[in-house]
């Protein structure tokens, strides 16, 4: 246990993205991956290549374009999955890692797989050996590891390491573990598997938050010998989510006195930016009281607390907000700012935009600049992310007019332009009106009539992107178009009705252009 460096394995783009309604397109995933590289995570789990062409392309693109972190892809312990992951990771070269998962717990063996212990070990060894033909860096996860018999788990670890696994991850797949018990399990594995002691293999942990213990379990595992923690930005993920990257990394940094010099390489000043980007890209709003990155994380309402803060910050703050990226907004742009200034600001904020993107963003910037005095960095980021989330536009918004009041029937008139088909010189323009319970409902119904869709609004959120009465409003919607899949749409404007219509139209376009998602396989 001499090595105190903790490897941060980020699975935001795999486990996090699998959260219902949080799916991202290729450009969104690439922007998140670039931000994760700036955050300096050690490993990016980029996706599950076999489940769809989209996931394969995303993993391949991230492997090709992202420099720095190890790029990882997940595979079940079957030849087809491993081969697809190996092919997707080829552009990463020596930085590629295949992550194999196979259930080992008694309940999974009996009821899901119908296989005995010796068959599980045989399959695991074969899978690792096959993966080694593609990459040198192979990780193996005994799914539901926290509920697997410890003596059998020791056998599995020894077998896969002998087959060539360099990392063995012990997932708390269903969030069943508690810190004392989970820590004891990790310690037993560390003590009984020599390769974990001599550094030839790494123990990893992947904790889910069903009991709210994902971070606590992860930190207990670190104390017990784990040297890799698998986590996500904002703790997003299946069901109640995963261990939150920002909480794990800041706990290690802030409580170095207790964790005895354990450290990770995270650039903590990029934490808040990462949190906001993932929130916008996934459509999952960060709760105000969320540790580290929530709006209230460094807010002090009590008079006693405020007095203490004014006298000495450390009386009621255990972290400096600036260490995780909180601070004043940069000098804002105005409607008089030129294209070069906007392009420079985009580059400063870390966005990689093409000339066509800059032109489109600048056009929207001028529209916003005419409506408000200042355009802040957060406003600009919202416009950029709106550009990134764009899908091929079957329909675009040409005109919107609403009438509403407490003595009138809310009515919306909407004009949409349909993208021109090949061989046609002109686009089709259609217009209709709708009534509803309010102006937003009326606008959405009019869009459905024009686009010939029937969406059910399952979730709607509105947030002010920046400060002031003229703040840009960002709307995120989740819509069910009848197939059970939630489709996310996003839109931004100083007018919340327009932002709502743009968000819903974004979801409509996404629904019309997306192929049906393949059923997602089991994962750790």
pLDDT in tens, 379-413: 888 888 777 766 777 899 999 999 999 889 999 99
Does pLDDT of 109 surpass 90?
A: yes
User: What's the token pair of residue 343?
Assistant: 């392009």
Does pLDDT of 24 surpass 60?
A: yes
Q: Which residue has the higher pLDDT, 466 or 29?
A: 29
Contact 332, 375 (CB under 8 A): yes
Does pLDDT of 255 surpass 60?
A: yes
Does pLDDT of 517 surpass 50?
A: no
Q: What is the pLDDT of residue 518?
A: 44
What is the number of other CB atoms lying within 10 angstroms of the CB of residue 213?
Answer: 20
Q: Which residue has the higher pLDDT, 313 or 460?
A: 460
The mean of the pLDDT values for the chain is 90
pLDDT digits (tens, 9 = 90+) for 424-473: 667 789 999 999 999 999 999 999 999 999 999 999 999 887 767 778 88
* Domain spans of the chain, in order of start: 7-282, 299-326, 339-388, 395-513
Q: Which residue has the higher pLDDT, 306 or 280?
A: 280
User: What's the token pair of residue 222?
Assistant: 């670190």
Q: What average pLDDT does the segment 82-95 reach? A: 98
Helices 377-388, 355-371: axis angle to 10 degrees equals 130
Does pLDDT of 217 surpass 70?
A: yes
Percent of all residues in the chain with a pLDDT value above 90, rounded to a whole number: 65
Q: What share of the chain is helix, strand, coil (3-state, %, to 5)?
A: 45, 20, 35
pLDDT digits (tens, 9 = 90+) for 267-283: 999 999 999 999 988 88
Q: What is the pLDDT of residue 521?
A: 55
Rounded to an integer, what distance in angstroms lies between the CA atom of residue 249 and that of residue 266? 7
Q: What average pLDDT does the segment 31-47 reach? A: 97
User: What's the token pair of residue 310?
Assistant: 């004014």
Rounded to an integer, what distance in angstroms lies between the CA atom of residue 414 and that of residue 430? 8
Helices 496-513, 439-451: axis angle to 10 degrees equals 30
In angstroms, the first-to-last Cα distance of the chain is 26
Separation in Å, CA 464 to CA 266, 288, 383, 445, 471 = 29, 13, 13, 25, 6
Question: Residue 166: helix, strand or coil by DSSP?
Answer: coil
Q: What average pLDDT does the segment 231-242 reach? A: 96
Q: What is the pLDDT of residue 245?
A: 98
Q: What is the pLDDT of residue 519?
A: 46
Instruction: Confirm or reject CATH 1.10.3720.10 for domain 7-282, answering yes or no.
Output: no
pLDDT digits (tens, 9 = 90+) for 111-138: 999 999 999 999 999 999 999 999 999 9
Note the maximum CA span of the chain: 77
pLDDT digits (tens, 9 = 90+) for 189-211: 999 999 999 999 999 999 999 99
Does pLDDT of 83 surpass 90?
A: yes
Q: What average pLDDT does the segment 301-325 reach? A: 74
User: What's the token pair of residue 136?
Assistant: 């040198």
Question: Residue 334: helix, strand or coil by DSSP?
Answer: coil
What is the number of other CB atoms lying within 10 angstroms of the CB of residue 437?
Answer: 10
Does pLDDT of 300 surpass 70?
A: no
Q: What is the pLDDT of residue 239?
A: 93
Confidence of residue 309 (pLDDT cuts 50, 70, 90): low
Q: What is the pLDDT of residue 326?
A: 87
Q: What average pLDDT does the segment 252-270 reach? A: 93
Does pLDDT of 329 surpass 90?
A: no
Q: What is the pLDDT of residue 473?
A: 87
Q: What average pLDDT does the segment 65-78 reach? A: 97
Phi, then psi, of 356 in degrees rounded to 5:
-65, -40
Query: Helices marked H in 15-68 — which ranges?
Result: 26-39, 53-65
Q: What is the pLDDT of residue 67?
A: 95
Class of domain 395-513: alpha beta
Q: What is the pLDDT of residue 202?
A: 98
């Amino acid at each position: 246990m001499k090595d105190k460096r903790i490897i941060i394995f980020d699975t935001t783009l795999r486990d996090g993205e699998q959260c219902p309604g949080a799916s991202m397109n290729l450009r969104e995933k690439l922007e998140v991956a670039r931000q994760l590289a700036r955050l300096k995570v050690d490993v990016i789990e980029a996706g599950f290549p076999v489940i769809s062409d989209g996931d394969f392309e995303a993993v391949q693109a991230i492997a090709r374009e992202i420099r720095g972190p190890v790029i990882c892809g997940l595979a079940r312990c079957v030849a087809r999955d491993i081969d697809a992951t190996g092919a997707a990771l080829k552009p990463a070269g020596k930085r590629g890692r295949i992550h194999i998962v196979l259930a080992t717990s008694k309940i999974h063996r009996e009821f899901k797989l119908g296989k005995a212990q010796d068959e599980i070990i045989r399959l695991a060894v074969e899978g690792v050996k096959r993966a080694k033909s593609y990459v040198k860096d192979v990780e193996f996860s005994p799914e539901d590891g926290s509920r697997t018999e410890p003596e059998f788990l020791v056998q599995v670890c020894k077998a896969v390491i002998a087959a060539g696994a360099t990392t063995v991850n012990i997932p708390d797949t269903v969030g069943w573990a508690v810190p004392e018990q989970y820590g004891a399990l990790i310690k037993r594995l560390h003590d009984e598997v020599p390769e974990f002691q001599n550094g030839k293999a790494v123990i990893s942990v992947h904790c889910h938050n069903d009991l709210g213990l994902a971070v606590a379990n992860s930190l207990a595992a670190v104390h017990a010998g784990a040297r890799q923690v698998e986590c996500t930005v904002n703790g997003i993920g299946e069901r109640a989510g995963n261990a939150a990257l920002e909480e794990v990394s800041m706990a290690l940094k802030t409580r170095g006195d207790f964790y005895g010099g354990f450290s990770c390489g995270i650039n903590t000043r990029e934490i808040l930016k990462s949190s906001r980007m993932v929130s916008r890209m996934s459509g999952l709003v960060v709760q105000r009281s969320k540790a580290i990155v929530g709006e209230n994380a460094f807010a002090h309402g009590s008079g006693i607390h405020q007095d203490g803060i004014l006298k000495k910050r450390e009386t009621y703050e255990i972290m400096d907000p600036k260490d995780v990226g909180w601070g004043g907004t940069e000098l804002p742009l105005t409607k008089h700012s030129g294209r070069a200034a906007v392009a420079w600001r985009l580059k400063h904020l870390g966005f990689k935009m093409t000339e066509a993107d800059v032109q489109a963003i600048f056009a929207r910037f001028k529209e916003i600049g005419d409506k408000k005095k200042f355009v802040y960095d957060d406003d600009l980021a919202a416009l950029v992310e709106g550009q990134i989330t764009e899908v091929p536009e079957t329909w675009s918004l040409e005109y919107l007019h609403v009438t509403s009041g407490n003595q009138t029937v809310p009515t919306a008139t909407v004009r949409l332009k349909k993208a021109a088909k090949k061989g046609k010189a002109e686009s089709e323009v259609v217009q209709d009106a709708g009534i509803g319970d309010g102006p937003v409902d009326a606008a959405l119904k009019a869009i459905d009539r024009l686009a010939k869709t029937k969406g059910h609004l399952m979730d709607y959120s509105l947030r002010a992107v920046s400060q002031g009465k003229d703040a840009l409003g960002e709307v995120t919607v989740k819509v069910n178009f009848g197939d059970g899949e939630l489709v996310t749409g996003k839109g931004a404007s100083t007018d919340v009705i327009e932002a709502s219509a743009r968000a819903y139209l974004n979801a409509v376009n996404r629904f019309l252009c997306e192929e049906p998602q393949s059923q997602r396989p089991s994962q750790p």
